[in-house]
Amino acid sequence: MFDEICEVYEEATAVLNCDGTDVQFERIESFDQCSFSAELMLNVQLKKLKKPTPVQRVVIPLITKKKNDLLCHAQTGSGKTAAFLLPIISRLHHFSRKRGFETNSYTPYAIIVSPTKELVKQLYDDACAFALRTGVTVSYTFGDIPMKASVAGLTNGCDIFIATCGRLSQFVEEKYISLEELRFLVLDEADKLLKVDNFYSCVKEIKQQKNIYPTHRVLMFSATYEHSINDLVQSFLRDDFVQIQIGQINSAADTVEQTFLKVNKHTLNGINGKEDTLLEFLLKHEKTRLVPQPNGDDYWKVPKTIIFVEQKRLSYRLGLTLNDNNIRASSYNSDLTLKMRYQAVSKFATDQCDVLVATDVGARGLNFPNVQYVINYDLPSRDLRGSQNEYIHRIGRTGRIGNVGAAISYFDPSSINDKRNASYFVKVLQDSRQTVPEWMLEFVEENETSINNLSKDAFSNYDGEKN
Domain membership of residue 25 (yes or no) is yes
432-448: burial string, b at 16+ Cβ within 10 Å, e else:
beeebbeebeebbeebe
DSSP 87-134: HHHHHHHHHHHHTTT----S--SEEEE-SSHHHHHHHHHHHHHHHTTT
**In this model, does residue 110 exceed pLDDT 60?**
yes
Going by pLDDT thresholds of 50, 70 and 90, the confidence category of residue 142 is very high
Q: Which of 42, 121, 136, 45 is nearest to 89 (CA)?
A: 136
Going by pLDDT thresholds of 50, 70 and 90, the confidence category of residue 418 is very high
Residues 241 and 293 in one domain: no
Domain housing 17: 2-246
Q: End of a domain among 246, 266, 297?
A: 246
Residues 308 and 235 in one domain: no
- What is the rounded CA–CA span in Å between residue 294 and residue 464? 44
* Burial (Cβ within 10 Å: 0-12, 13-18, ≥19) of residue 466: buried
pLDDT value, residue 248: 64
Domain membership of residue 265 (yes or no) is yes
pLDDT value, residue 245: 85
Residues 439 and 457 in one domain: yes
* Angle in degrees, CA 333, 252, 234, rounded to 5: 85
pLDDT value, residue 8: 38
Going by pLDDT thresholds of 50, 70 and 90, the confidence category of residue 455 is very low
* CB 155, CB 105: distance < 8 Å: yes
Which of 164-178, 201-215, 350-364, 407-421 shows the lowest mean pLDDT across its residues?
350-364
Number of domains in the chain: 2
Domain membership of residue 88 (yes or no) is yes
Strands 299-301 and 289-291: antiparallel
Residues 162 and 310 in one domain: no
Query: Whole-prediction pTM value?
Result: 0.69
Q: How does the average pLDDT of the chain come out, rounded?
A: 87
Residue 440 is classified by DSSP as: H
Residues 271 and 418 in one domain: yes
- What is the rounded CA–CA span in Å between residue 362 and residue 119? 10
Domain membership of residue 251 (yes or no) is no
70-93 pLDDT per residue, tens: 999 887 778 899 999 999 999 999
pLDDT value, residue 445: 86
pLDDT value, residue 9: 43
Domain membership of residue 47 (yes or no) is yes
Residues 148 and 282 in one domain: no
Of residues 239 and 5, which shows the higher confidence score?
A: 239
pLDDT value, residue 329: 97
Angle formed by the axes of helices 416-431 and 438-453, nearest 10°: 130
Residues 343 and 235 in one domain: no
Residues 392 and 447 in one domain: yes
* CB 132, CB 160: distance < 8 Å: no
342-370 pLDDT per residue, tens: 899 889 989 999 999 999 887 765 778 78
* CB 376, CB 407: distance < 8 Å: yes
Element holding 17 (H helix, E strand): strand 14-17
CATH number for 387: 3.40.50.300
pLDDT value, residue 372: 93
pLDDT value, residue 334: 87
- What is the rounded CA–CA span in Å between residue 75 and residue 392? 9
Q: What is the mean pLDDT of residues 142-165?
A: 93
Q: Is the dihedral of CA 168, 174, 175, 177 positive or negative?
A: negative
Q: How many CB atoms lie within 10 A of CB 201?
A: 11
Write out the E strands in 172-316: 184-187, 217-222, 242-246, 256-262, 289-291, 299-301, 305-308
- What is the rounded CA–CA span in Å between residue 165 and residue 433? 38
Q: H helices of 218-273, where?
A: 229-236
- What is the rounded CA–CA span in Å between residue 105 and residue 177? 8
Question: Which own/partner pairs from 148-152 qualify as long-range (CB within 8 Å, at least 24 positions apart)?
Answer: 151/176
252-306 pLDDT per residue, tens: 666 789 999 999 999 888 899 999 999 999 999 999 999 999 999 999 999 999 9
* CB 312, CB 334: distance < 8 Å: yes
Q: H helices of 163-218, where?
A: 165-173, 190-193, 199-207
Strands, sheet with 355-358, edge to edge from the N-terminal-most edge strand = 256-262, 405-411, 373-376, 305-308, 355-358, 329-332
Domain membership of residue 166 (yes or no) is yes
pLDDT value, residue 19: 61
Residues 206 and 315 in one domain: no
Residues 411 and 387 in one domain: yes
* CB 108, CB 159: distance < 8 Å: yes
* Residue type present at position 200: Y
Q: How many CB atoms lie within 10 A of CB 144?
A: 11
Residues 270 and 123 in one domain: no
**In this model, does residue 29 exceed pLDDT 80?**
yes
